[in-house]
Amino acid sequence: MSLSKTSMLDIIKKQYTFKLRAYMQVFMSMVFIQMLGILFSFNGVGMSGGGSNTLSVNVHYYSADIVVAFTIVWAIISAILITTQAYRNDDFVFITNRMSSNFSNILFLLTASIIGGITAIMSTYVMKVLMYVLGRTEYLSSPIAVPEMLIGFGATILYVFLGTAIGYFIGTLVQLNKVFVVLVPGVFIGMIVLGAGSMNGGFFQDMIKFIFMESSFALFFIKIIILVILLFSSSAMLSNRLEVR
């Protein structure tokens, strides 16, 4: 009888490939959510109009914002989903420990974020094509420069990835204690309510500003990465003593 030696890296790699296949449903739900987002986008995000006696102009604005927002929500939910007991147990059927399990989950979520982010931005093209085919009226679209496009991809991927990190953290808390099922939404709503009355905004509003109102991409990149690392590492530390199966 010889004992097999394993390296952490090797196991993480195996777990990652296993998860890409096993967590297929996550991508299925993404396709569905984004299609739903496109459908809702047809309402337009804004509208303005004007006219004279003989002429009236209505301008509708369309964008993929709703798709991006839907994708972020999908990211949060998917990340919560893979921390649930059923998924965790699937994980522990084969060789793993909590560290490799968390690492491969993070790699999987990063992959999902990249795919989700890119498809979310690309959905503008789907919308343009659909506009062209189905649109009843004159249709204009502004061409996007390549650097802007890349920033768009980058920022969306980062937002989605941040979503997975938040979801993963919430999911881990819930796994530790079911109290968090009530506590997390409670704190979330509480933060919104507490900040609502004050002029300069509460913690929640500051947080939103901190994340969503950054004009420099480099700074934004650093902010998100730090937040993501903080969230994932605290999830990993919290779940390191968790009992499974």
Partner 1 sequence: MNVIDCKGLTKVYGRTKALNKLSFTIEENKITGLIGRNGAGKTTLLKIIGGFMRGTSGEVRVFSEEPFNNLFVSANVIYINDQMNFPTALSLKEILNVAATFYENWNHELANRLFDYFSFHQDHQYTGLSKGMKSTFNMIVGLSARCALTMFDEPTTGMDAAVRKDFYRALLKDFIAYPRTIILSSHHLNEIEDLLEDILLLKNGKEHLHIPIADLKEWAIGIEGLTANVNEWIGEREVIHLKNIGHDRMFAVVRNNFSEYEKQKAREAGLTFSPVSSSDICVYLTSKTKGGIDDVFIKD
Contact residues for partner 1, defined by CB under 8 A: 1-6, 8, 11, 14, 17-18, 21-25, 86, 89-90, 92-100, 240-241, 243-245
Task: Give whichever of 10 and 206 is closer to partner 1, judged by the CB atom.
Answer: 10
Which residues, other chains included, contact 57 with Cβ-Cβ below 8 Å and sequence gap of 6+?
Answer: 49, 50, 51
Nearest to 105 by CA among 47, 178, 151, 172: 172
User: In Å, what is the CA distance from 224 to each residue of 62, 111, 229?
Assistant: 27, 16, 9
As measured in angstroms, the least distance from the Cβ of 89 to partner 1 is 5
- Give 81: exposed, middle or buried? Use CB within 10 Å, 0-12, 13-18, 19+: middle
As measured in angstroms, the least distance from the Cβ of 83 to partner 1 is 15
Q: Which of helix, strand or coil describes residue 59? A: strand
Nearest to 163 by CA among 86, 110, 121, 219: 110
Listed in sequence order, the DSSP H helices in the chain are: 8-22, 24-41, 65-83, 85-91, 98-134, 146-176, 180-196, 203-212, 217-239
Task: Give whichever of 32 and 210 is closer to partner 1, judged by the CB atom.
Answer: 32
As measured in angstroms, the least distance from the Cβ of 22 to partner 1 is 4
As measured in angstroms, the least distance from the Cβ of 75 to partner 1 is 19
Task: Give whichever of 77 and 99 is closer to partner 1, judged by the CB atom.
Answer: 99
As measured in angstroms, the least distance from the Cβ of 105 to partner 1 is 14
Task: Give whichever of 94 and 139 is closer to partner 1, judged by the CB atom.
Answer: 94
Task: Give whichever of 78 and 100 is closer to partner 1, judged by the CB atom.
Answer: 100
As measured in angstroms, the least distance from the Cβ of 99 to partner 1 is 7
Task: Give whichever of 82 and 110 is closer to partner 1, judged by the CB atom.
Answer: 82
**Tokens matching residue 49:** 């109009």
